[in-house]
Structure 1
Amino acid sequence: MRDANIYATRRALPRMSWHPRNLYNLWRRSLGKKVRETDFTNTTKTLFQQRWAAKQLVRAYHGDFINEKIFKRWYLPATLPDVRPRKRIAGDDSIDLTSWAGRTRTAKREKERLAEEEAKGLAPVGSLMFAEVERRIDVFIFRCCFAHSVYEARRLVIHGDVLLNGKKHQNANTRLAPGDMVSVNPKAIRFLQPLPETKSEESEATEASSETSTEKTGNEVTSEAKAESEASSKETAESQASASEEDLEDSENETEKAPSKPRRTEQLSILAELAKDPNLTPFNLPKYASPFLFVPAYIEVSFPTCSAVYVRHPTARPGYSEIPTPFDADGEVVRLAWEWYSRVRPRMRSKSQLARMPERRESKGPSLVL
């Protein structure tokens, strides 16, 4: 189940979120000191400890809100693909025998196929362990960039802000089928809501000075204070006018020196015009989220309508995996996690167990392949 402090920097377990602390944990796991913990090439840990650490990291990101028992029974494939490289059999001379028998073309094709396999390498099929988790509707909404985290996506589903094929759907455990369309209420998407107005430092300083002046003088203001304020206002106006003239002269000199550079005032005016336009939809991206903002290939998103289609199931090919993960799809962490779960394969499912299975939608027709 999900931990209480999911963004703890001590453990630095990556999650499906764009929270600043989670992004910091991702940096520590990819470039910081925590990289050494996942480098199992030179370690004193036993094989059991290595598999347990890899399984903990992988499960923290892929469905930490799913109970381990439920994950092994319903979200883990019944047949896990083998991620281990094929062992060469000593004395295998089948190619030489085919060429000696006169089948030179067949031997040549077999040599070319083996050379191509060695050049490409194995497909990262170990990451396909989490294909069933990617089918969940809450994970799907997070992948579509409609929510800041998978936990917020779950709340959107439970609170009734999500439509599945045009009907209200409130079960966050549902697994989608190819062709299903999910729509989200635009009013519930935080990206499309205007940011709260923040007070600037100057306004805060003026408010603080006004409060202190009112405390000292009270409700009555003397004529001397009025005269002093008028004199100070005149002085400030004169100083501002002189400063504006100097700024204009400096700007003219700068434009004469560097006419190719765009003016900052023009850019600010353009931004001000865009901000005044009521027809534009605001899009407020969370801080430091741009490097992590992406949409997987098996999802077709329509941001103007706040809807998306689950096109097909994720796949993997040599050198590429469609399962989004912060770890190497064919690295040590995923392979050790596969070795852990290969020992605890799900058992045969009876009819009573199938009745308690989370909702899993099946495609009526052939799945769409792009």
Structure 2
Amino acid sequence: MRDKNIFAIRRGLPRMSWTPQNLYNLWRRSCTPFKEEAVFTQSSKTLFQQRWIAKRLTRAYHGDFINEKIFKRWYLPSTLPDVRPRKRDDDDVNLWKWVGQDSKVSKEVRNREEDEKLALAPVASLMYEEVERRIDVFIFRCCFAHSVYEARRLVIHGRVLLNGKKHQNANTRLAPGDMVSVDPKAIRFLQAPPPTPSKEENSEEESQPEGEATKDTKVESKSAPPPSLLHPGLTPFNLPPFAAPFIFIPAYIEVSFETCSAILVRRPTARYNYSEIPSPYDADGEIMRLSWEWYSRVRPRIRGSGEKRGRICPDVRTETRKIPGVERPKKLPAPSVIEGRSLRAQILRNSVGL
């Protein structure tokens, strides 16, 4: 089974989840010798192995439930934004040098260096922009679900509204301005926890016969009120353990926790030393760059409709047009050829206009 034991400690792959096992795997990938597997500065692995390991790590977090073929076909962008600095004209600098204003020359050179530095944004992480627009990933980023798998279950079970209408397709990608609402009754940490009797009470009840009760148990029952009476009229809020590192809202999402709804304000972007796509790996580090190199080499080549079976379309083609009052032919007739001239010569003659 592909999704069995996704939090395996032996593999140590971080996922989109709040579970303590996932937090432990994230800690191992960042602070223990286990992180040396993804450090390629001094590695004996080949370039192919480095790219494959980087792809494996990033895809385990960004859409591991998406089939690889579907991801390359529908979610992988064709290119990334070009943030390389463009060469400027040196006319102003040469003029100031000729005039003798060295202070303006040094100031202009400094400003250009700062502009070039600020233009270098970590764009490698933008390869997963389309994954972040999925409705199940969007719900997880809004902190309405413990994991992206639970968010997917909420969508499929009809607990999510998209722009006020019930939506059950978890593969939908949102557009800027779309509003997603989640049923508060389906959010687990907004429900009161079930009463769980302690082990000492269970052992005491088993040791004592029915109908007998000591004074100590009566005093404890009077002093401890039921959980429903502790905060009457308030919505219960019970976060799972070790959930603090995962509770944050990206900048491109506007969330209203009072109504359990959120709006996708815009697409995620990147600027100098900052990327809006959350990831356990450096937005412009080795892992992200090698992942992009892997997909840039294995991406599917999509051909146009006119390039099927080579450059030249075959003569035998099926007719798909529907003309009223005309019987639909099964096949188009073969092109006519003038005597003494080949088909290629006629095409060249018509294109030149002779």
Cα 1:3/1:107, change in 2 over 3 Å: farther
Cα 1:98/1:301, change in 2 over 3 Å: same
CA contact (8 A) 2:58 2:288 kept: yes
1:330 equivalent among 277, 284, 298: 284
Task: Tell me which amino acid in the other structure corresponds to 1:26.
Answer: L
Task: Tell me which amino acid in the other structure corresponds to 2:77.
Answer: P
C-alpha RMSD of the superposition: 3.4
- 1:33-112 mapped onto 2 (5 Å cutoff): 33-81=33-81, 97=94, 99-100=96-97, 110-112=108-110
CA contact (8 A) 1:2 1:65 kept: no
TM-score (norm 2): 0.75
Task: Tell me which amino acid in the other structure corresponds to 1:179.
Answer: G
CA contact (8 A) 1:95 1:111 kept: no
Q: Give the count of matched residue pairs.
A: 300
CA contact (8 A) 2:180 2:261 kept: yes
| More displaced 10-residue stretch of structure 1: 193-202 or 340-349 | 340-349
Match of 1:347 in 2: 301
Task: Tell me which amino acid in the other structure corresponds to 2:60.
Answer: A
CA contact (8 A) 2:145 2:187 kept: yes
SS at match of 2:120: coil
Match of 2:319 in 1: none
Match of 1:176 in 2: 174
CA deviations over 1:263-297 (Å, ceiling 9, x no partner): xxxxx99x999953331001111110112211111
Match of 1:115 in 2: 113
- 1:243-254 mapped onto 2 (5 Å cutoff): none
CA deviations over 1:307-335 (Å, ceiling 9, x no partner): 00111111111111100001111211111
Displacement after TM superposition at 1:342 (Å): 2.2
CA distance, structure 2, for counterparts of residue 191 and residue 147 of structure 1: 9
**1:313 maps onto 2:267 in alignment:** yes
SS at match of 2:161: strand
1:304 equivalent among 255, 258, 273: 258
Cα 1:170/1:277, change in 2 over 3 Å: same
Match of 1:283 in 2: 237
Task: Tell me which amino acid in the other structure corresponds to 2:149.
Answer: Y
CA distance, structure 1, for counterparts of residue 297 and residue 99 of structure 2: 46
Displacement after TM superposition at 1:32 (Å): 2.1
TM-score (norm 1): 0.72
Task: Tell me which amino acid in the other structure corresponds to 1:153.
Answer: A
CA distance, structure 2, for counterparts of residue 137 and residue 36 of structure 1: 34
CA deviations over 1:94-127 (Å, ceiling 9, x no partner): 8875655669799556512442146547211111
Task: Tell me which amino acid in the other structure corresponds to 1:16.
Answer: M
Cα 1:179/1:93, change in 2 over 3 Å: closer
* TM superposition outliers: structure 1 runs of 4+ over 6 Å: 85-88, 92-96, 103-106, 271-274
Match of 1:265 in 2: none
| Gap runs ≥5 in structure 1 | 215-220, 222-228, 241-267, 353-370
Cα 1:284/1:347, change in 2 over 3 Å: same
Displacement after TM superposition at 1:348 (Å): 3.7
Cα 1:351/1:192, change in 2 over 3 Å: farther
SS at match of 2:298: coil
Match of 1:11 in 2: 11
Cα 1:98/1:330, change in 2 over 3 Å: farther
CA distance, structure 2, for counterparts of residue 38 and residue 95 of structure 1: 47
Q: Percent identity?
A: 65
CA distance, structure 2, for counterparts of residue 115 and residue 42 of structure 1: 31
Displacement after TM superposition at 1:208 (Å): 2.8
- 1:125-164 mapped onto 2 (5 Å cutoff): 125-164=123-162
Match of 1:205 in 2: 203
Tell me which of the two structures has the higher relative contact order, counting C-alpha pairs closer than 8 angstroms and 6 or more residues apart.
1
CA distance, structure 1, for counterparts of residue 287 and residue 267 of structure 2: 23
Cα 1:350/1:149, change in 2 over 3 Å: farther
| Gap runs ≥5 in structure 2 | 307-354
CA distance, structure 2, for counterparts of residue 75 and residue 181 of structure 1: 21
CA deviations over 1:205-250 (Å, ceiling 9, x no partner): 202313xx68xxxxxx9xxxxxxx99xx68x79xx9xxxxxxxxxx
CA contact (8 A) 1:82 1:126 kept: no
CA distance, structure 1, for counterparts of residue 105 and residue 302 of structure 2: 43
CA distance, structure 2, for counterparts of residue 115 and residue 272 of structure 1: 66
Task: Tell me which amino acid in the other structure corresponds to 2:235.
Answer: T
CA contact (8 A) 1:121 1:319 kept: no
CA distance, structure 2, for counterparts of residue 203 and residue 77 of structure 1: 59
CA distance, structure 1, for counterparts of residue 172 and residue 253 of structure 2: 16
